[in-house]
Amino acid sequence: MTQEIEIEFKNLLTKHQYEQLLQDFHIRKNAIHRQTNHYFDTPTQAIRKLQSGLRIREIGEYYECTLKEKNAEHAHLETTDQLTAAQAQKMLEGEGFFAQEVAKKLAIHSIPLDQLRVFGSLTTDRVEIPYKEGLLVFDHSYYLQCDDYEVEYEAKDAIRGKAIFDEFLQQYGIPKQETDKKIARFMKALQQQNS
């Protein structure tokens, strides 16, 4: 189990901006790794109502379950448990919950584990690059009938991180725009699909 505060800044990109950044940073195809997030909530959206997100992330043969709880504008408390492939599969099928530390956090919020269901999956092709005291991330995500592109900057300090990220956007001529988290973009697309 790990628990950490994640401070991140993000901005949507056009396909052209994304491809230009891959070129500018000399990113080779083999540096891009694929991951899939499987999102959970209850039928009453108890987790969403807490401004939180619950997912199992699958990267190759590696699985982890993470609860992200908002605790500041650009910061989230992440509680993560590593899972075996068999545990992840059972959780995805609604046959038990094997992320013990995440379960403890959910219990604090009175979220019944037996009501958790997967409501969708989102696949991302990701590149991570150390950049000025933090981590720069280029993502191309696929979900429902959408695909989108974004840049993220993970920082240790919110004020310094914001300055570095704003400078990065300016340097690469990327207009700053409010950008929802992936789970929120997924939910919007799901609501549009169902309406």
What was the pLDDT predicted at 193? 83
Round the average pLDDT of the chain to a whole number and report it: 94
What was the pLDDT predicted at 22? 98
Which residue, 6, 38, 3, 12, is CA-closest to 180?
12
Complete DSSP assignment for 25-53: TT--GGG-EEEEEEEEE-TT-HHHHTTEE
Look up residue 95 and give its DSSP letter: S
For 85-135, what is each residue's pLDDT tens digit? 999 999 999 999 999 999 999 999 999 999 999 999 999 999 999 999 999
Q: In this prediction, what percent of the chain has a pLDDT beyond 70? A: 99
Average pLDDT over residues 59-82: 92
Longest dimension (CA), the chain: 49
Average pLDDT over residues 177-184: 89
What was the pLDDT predicted at 191? 86
Provide the H-helix boundaries in the chain.
15-24, 46-49, 85-92, 100-108, 158-171, 182-194
Asked if residue 64 lies in contact with residue 83, where contact means CB atoms within 8 angstroms, the answer is: yes
- Would the pLDDT of 70 be above 90? no
- Would the pLDDT of 1 be above 80? no
- d(CA 193, CA 75) in angstroms, rounded, equals 30
Which of 28-42, 63-77, 129-143, 168-182 has the lowest average pLDDT? 63-77
